[in-house]
Amino acid sequence: MTAETAVAVRPVVETTVAPRRRRQTLPLLNLVGALIVSAAVLYVTFFPAPGLPALGPAFNPTTGAWTMAADAQVTNRVLHLAGLRQPVSVVLERDGTAHISAQTDHDLFLATGYVHARFRLFQMDLMRRQGAGRLSEVVGKAAVNSDRFELQLGLLRTAQAEWKQLQTDDQSRQALVAYAQGVNDRIAEAESMHQLDAMFTLLGYQPQPWSPIDSLLVKGDMTQTLNFTDTPLVMALLKKSLGADLSSEWFPILPPNQQSPYDIGPYAKPTIAPIETMSEVTDAKAQSAAALYQRLAALPPGLVAKGGASNNWAVGGAKTTSGGALLAGDPHLHLTLPAIWFQLTMDSPGYHAAGVGIPGTPIVLIGHNEHIAWTLTDAQNQQTFFYLEHEDAVHPGRYLWNGGWQNYKTVSYEIPVQGAQTQHLDVKLSVHGPVISERGQTTSVWWTGNLPSQDLGVLLRLGQAGNFGEFRSALRGWLAPTHNFIYADDRGNIGLISAGYYPLVAKGQPWLPMAGTGEFDVIGTIPFDDIPQAYNPPDNILWSANQRQVTSSYPYYIGTASNFFDAGYRANEIHRVLSQPGKLSADDMSALQTDTRDSLAAEIVPVLLQSLSKERLNAKESAAVDLLRSWDFRMETNSAAATIWWYFWGWYLDETFKPWWKSRAVPVDYGVVFNALGQDLEAWTLHDPGNRAFSAPGVGSRTAPDAQRKSFHKLIGDLTKQLGPDPHSWSYGKVHQRVLENLAEVSGLNYGPRPDRGDGNTPLAAGGYPSTEGPSWRMVVDWGAKTFEAIYPGGQSENPASDWYTDRVDSWWAGRLNPMLTAGEADAAGGIHTWSLQP
Amino acid sequence: MRLYVTLLLAALLALAGVLLGLWWAPFVVGLLLGAITQRARIAILAGAAIGLVGWLVPLAVAQERYGLGPTAQSLAAIMKFDHQAALPIALTLLVGTLLGLTGAWLASAGRGLATSART
């Protein structure tokens, strides 16, 4: 072919071959494009991507998260529940408070399980997963450390042991079984109706059937949150860095300040010799303590108790306007949405109680029955002990105990991790408990929460008690966490028992990690008759607010001032109010629950004003002094003096102790011992202004007034920068807010932050900035007027689309209480829903 | 007329599937539609519309019966959309639409390739 012919034929080729190729290429490209886009769409709809659930199951309108709209509706219903023996009636009040009336105890517990799960299944699932170390199975790697720690600590092992110990005819075993059946009835119903909580859908998993062990795990979670402490590790680090003299003085066994114990004796003679005073901490011990302390400090909040805060008190009939006994209580816990509590009345031939229980457990934990009312605070005695196991190279994998070399027992676990490989965990167990650190010296932990208990049975009997004798008898079996159970009955009697296990060690220093060789082991508990308790005291008042319950003459060691009894300011204020002359009413009880008077401020501010009396002050400082001078010591949101006081106290602590922390390189977070140091500072300010603590290295010789003046000048500068130049505008609500946090840590579903009154020292507890803990359930009972009132922040439903998610918050915030109706009263009230549960 | 009937039946089929919990039904119906409809553009548009309808109608019914405002706000909060309640609704409808659209597109593209290969 010539070039010419080639050119001549070329157009022909172009017009015949190219369109065909294009016709074949374009459809192919189209298909490839369709395949790629379809694959992408199908992938994101069927499979979760990082940070996103699988979009199809999560967002489709019939079975996805949108079903929370239907779930939020509560209507009258007739339901058939597997396992039910007789019909059960459930009346739901306008605010969702449930009244369950059953003809048998079995049916009552079954229906309670159903009702709990209807409104709180996801919360229950999270709680059991936390205790069982199975959180990472649904939330991924973020929870692996928590799971590993929980499995080491052993809530699951304890729950399994407790379950094994329950006899088949045991009332609590039967309650647990029936309760589990009720929960599983709801799981089956929710799955069939596509009404599982939206969080299941969004996290892409289905709840496993509930078992009785799960309920025991939930109880274990609470024990851990309230009583598993790291204070012996903290004490070891403080002692090593600060030295024996300062740490003994600053962190004493008995509180350095004036407190208000409720049980003032006389006490029984001790059955054990008094324990020794402080001694040295070796380098090895300090290194081991530091490693473990850091590990525990890195765990999520709630796994290690950080001091508690709760109030309760009772007034005998002789001191009340109604003539009947009064009881008030407000346990202070992490305030979450949904709340830890679910309000209900449980009514059957063998059990009648009204109040609140923890979803996942089949009982009323705080409340009343026909004859008695009770509530509780944490007793705070030391329940966690660390043991340094003695090992050597000649006996690998063994430890020395009571003169012989022992083998560790080993338990193995698999930890499924969502989106990652399953992790394997071996847990070593010594006679003291699980080994929780092998960095430095191998350290095991003895913790009361690891003693298999029958506490659930105790709580059942508590709800069935009709007088103080039965109440006290029931509490004999209570182990952990130790609680101050307060009591008032319909005959005007009041009582308080700080029930639980009070470990005794034969000798040694239990506030520090101890040698695990046997001679320092826990050898038993303080006898029940010797634990703090009181009944119908002459002054007709009883109170507890996490303070040390007994005086310095109490013969047993129950913990140091910093491990972790409260500093006592709330108890002092409660005692001050209750012990005033005159009679008290239910309204007085309610007012005291929302009392914002800071008794520490009432002590310290006059001293501060005296220290400033001859100081040259500028205009702002003078205005601040005037505000303090006219202040009533109440931490109200509109009070500028409250802001000045609180900043002053913080600066004063810093001014006194921070230089020590720096010069001695103390490896403990300063905030951890804030309360303990506060007690010292209070005592020195009032009684020992020349204490050497004010003359820290590098600051020269000073006294308390010197430190106060310096702190005052600093705080005025600090507040001017933060809040502007006019002290009158420094209202407390600008710096102090409260937030109720969503349990699943979805910040958009929190309530607040919202300005709120109170602080860590006031009966209306609101420590922290913002405050996330506080009165989780306020209850006031007047047996004379037969009135029962209560409230908790939040609502009965965990569904954020429900009216019952936050419907109680505003009333709670304002300090109002709602009447606790009987089932009959609820039935007669308007706006109720009724469920008829049929076999 | 036949086209309209086909589209109507397809929409009903997709809707029934979604109501039965088969949320991926629009994709399958889209596939069928793409396979039997000669004109690709119509198939794809119809697939998208069927996907939209399949997910919109149950959502609208839920809105009518329960009100979706609090749910939409909650989902927006969970998804960190800063309480923009419209976004979860838009996302939901987008997913439904994309399922129908991609199903129809995929089948239509396959059909197109097969047709061109035959010619």
pLDDT tens digits along A144-180: 999 999 999 999 999 999 999 999 999 999 999 999 9
* Nearest residue in chain A measured CA to CA from B97: A41
Q: Does A204 lie at the interface with B, CB-CB under 8 angstroms?
A: no
Residues in A touching B53 (Cβ below 8 Å): none
Average pLDDT over residues A84-98: 97
A56–chain B nearest CA distance, Å: 7
Q: Does B51 lie at the interface with A, CB-CB under 8 angstroms?
A: no
Please say whether the beta carbons of A679 and A643 come within 8 A. Answer: no
A66/B71 Cβ within 8 A: yes
pLDDT at A34: 95
A31/B110 Cβ within 8 A: yes
pLDDT at A48: 87
pLDDT at A518: 95
Q: Does B103 lie at the interface with A, CB-CB under 8 angstroms?
A: yes
Please say whether the beta carbons of A272 and A504 come within 8 A. Answer: yes
pLDDT at A308: 65
pLDDT at A51: 74
* Nearest residue in chain A measured CA to CA from B18: A62
Confidence label for A21 from pLDDT (cuts 50, 70 and 90): low
Residues in B touching A749 (Cβ below 8 Å): 74, 77-78
- pLDDT reading at A190 higher than 90: yes
pLDDT at B118: 76
Q: Does A55 lie at the interface with B, CB-CB under 8 angstroms?
A: yes
Residues in B touching A33 (Cβ below 8 Å): 109
Q: Does A41 lie at the interface with B, CB-CB under 8 angstroms?
A: yes
pLDDT at A50: 77
Residue A638: other Cβ atoms inside 10 A: 11
* Cα torsion angle, A264, A270, A274, A275, sign: negative
Q: How many CB pairs under 8 A join A and B?
A: 133
A202/B91 Cβ within 8 A: no
B113/A70 Cβ within 8 A: no
Q: Which residue, among A175, A169, A170, A167, has the nearest Cα to A219 in the 3D structure?
A: A175
A223 compared with B115, residue with greater pLDDT:
A223
Average pLDDT over residues A77-100: 97
Residue B48: other Cβ atoms inside 10 A: 22
A564 compared with A631, residue with greater pLDDT:
A631
Distance CA B62, CA A231 (A): 53
pLDDT at A274: 56
Q: Does B113 lie at the interface with A, CB-CB under 8 angstroms?
A: yes
Q: What is the pTM assigned to this prediction?
A: 0.94
Distance CA A160, CA A180 (A): 15
Peptide bond into A338 cis (omega under 30): yes
Q: Does A68 lie at the interface with B, CB-CB under 8 angstroms?
A: yes
* Cα torsion angle, A697, A700, A703, A705, sign: negative
Please say whether the beta carbons of A412 and A151 come within 8 A. Answer: no
B93–chain A nearest CA distance, Å: 9
Probe site for chain B from A62, A337, A750, A805 (most B CB atoms < 10 A): A62
B78/A30 Cβ within 8 A: no
A596 compared with A673, residue with greater pLDDT:
A596
Name the percent of chain A lying above pLDDT 70: 96
B102/A41 Cβ within 8 A: yes
- pLDDT reading at A426 higher than 90: yes
Which position has the token pair 């002359």?
A581
Probe site for chain A from B15, B59, B63, B75 (most A CB atoms < 10 A): B75
B24–chain A nearest CA distance, Å: 7
Which position has the token pair 């009132």?
A789
Q: Does B98 lie at the interface with A, CB-CB under 8 angstroms?
A: yes
- pLDDT reading at A16 higher than 80: no
- φ, ψ for residue A539, nearest 5 deg: -85, 5
Residues in B touching A26 (Cβ below 8 Å): 116
Q: Does B9 lie at the interface with A, CB-CB under 8 angstroms?
A: no
A302–chain B nearest CA distance, Å: 22
Instruction: Pick B113's closest partner by Cβ from A31, A63, A194.
Output: A31
Among A125-139, A628-642, A670-684, whose mean pLDDT is lowest? A670-684
Q: Which residue, among A96, A97, A99, A73, has the nearest Cα to A88 in the 3D structure?
A: A99
Instruction: Pick B98's closest partner by Cβ from A41, A61, A800.
Output: A41
Please say whether the beta carbons of A482 and A499 come within 8 A. Answer: yes
Q: CA dihedral in degrees (A300, A301, A307, A308; nearest 10)?
A: -140
A31/B112 Cβ within 8 A: yes
B37–chain A nearest CA distance, Å: 16
Average pLDDT over residues A619-647: 98
B119/A70 Cβ within 8 A: no
Residues in B touching A37 (Cβ below 8 Å): 102, 105
A88–chain B nearest CA distance, Å: 28
Distance CA A551, CA A109 (A): 42
Express each pLDDT in A248-280 by its tens digit: 899 998 999 999 999 999 998 766 655 555 567
Instruction: Pick B18's closest partner by Cβ from A23, A41, A62.
Output: A62
A59/B88 Cβ within 8 A: yes
Confidence label for A507 from pLDDT (cuts 50, 70 and 90): confident
- φ, ψ for residue A226, nearest 5 deg: -95, -25
A332–chain B nearest CA distance, Å: 27
* pLDDT averaged over every residue in chain A: 93
Residues in B touching A55 (Cβ below 8 Å): 91, 95
Q: Does A663 lie at the interface with B, CB-CB under 8 angstroms?
A: no
- pLDDT reading at A763 higher than 80: yes
The three-state (H, E, C) secondary structure of A88-99, written as one string: EEEEECCCCCEE
List the beta strands (DSSP E) in A462-579: 483-489, 494-499, 503-505, 514-515, 522-525, 533-535, 541-544
User: What would you report as the CA-atom Rg of chain A, rounded to the nearest whole angstrom?
Assistant: 31
Instruction: Pick B66's closest partner by Cβ from A41, A73, A748.
Output: A73
Give me A561's structure tokens. 């001032």
For residue A351, what are the β-bridge partners? Answer: A348
A22–chain B nearest CA distance, Å: 10
* Nearest residue in chain A measured CA to CA from B23: A60
Residues in B touching A30 (Cβ below 8 Å): 40, 109, 112-113
Residue A616: other Cβ atoms inside 10 A: 7
Q: Does A69 lie at the interface with B, CB-CB under 8 angstroms?
A: yes
Q: Does B118 lie at the interface with A, CB-CB under 8 angstroms?
A: no
Average pLDDT over residues A53-81: 94
Residue A825: other Cβ atoms inside 10 A: 14
* Cα torsion angle, A122, A125, A127, A133, sign: negative
Name the percent of chain A lying above pLDDT 90: 85
pLDDT at B80: 87
Among A318-327, A345-354, B1-10, whose mean pLDDT is lowest? B1-10
Give me A203's structure tokens. 């996290």
A69/B68 Cβ within 8 A: yes
Q: Which residue, among A64, A184, A178, A63, has the nearest Cα to A121 in the 3D structure?
A: A184
A543 compared with B112, residue with greater pLDDT:
A543
A35–chain B nearest CA distance, Å: 6
pLDDT at A276: 57
B77/A748 Cβ within 8 A: yes
Q: Does B55 lie at the interface with A, CB-CB under 8 angstroms?
A: yes
pLDDT at A279: 62
pLDDT at B116: 82
Express each pLDDT in A110-124 by its tens digit: 999 999 999 999 999
A374 compared with A290, residue with greater pLDDT:
A374
Residue A192: other Cβ atoms inside 10 A: 8
Q: Does A807 lie at the interface with B, CB-CB under 8 angstroms?
A: no
pLDDT at A17: 52
Express each pLDDT in A338-367 by its tens digit: 999 999 999 999 999 999 999 999 999 999
pLDDT at A309: 77
A438 compared with A721, residue with greater pLDDT:
A721
Average pLDDT over residues A457-473: 97
Instruction: Pick A27's closest partner by Cβ from B56, B98, B112.
Output: B112
Give me A294's structure tokens. 């850091």
Indicate the residue type of A659.
P
* Cα torsion angle, A259, A261, A266, A268, sign: negative
Residue A51: CB partners within 8 Å, gap ≥ 6? none
B20–chain A nearest CA distance, Å: 8
Q: Does A172 lie at the interface with B, CB-CB under 8 angstroms?
A: no
Residue A175: other Cβ atoms inside 10 A: 27
Please say whether the beta carbons of A359 and A116 come within 8 A. Answer: yes
pLDDT at A818: 97
Please say whether the beta carbons of B40 and B104 come within 8 A. Answer: no
Q: Does B84 lie at the interface with A, CB-CB under 8 angstroms?
A: no
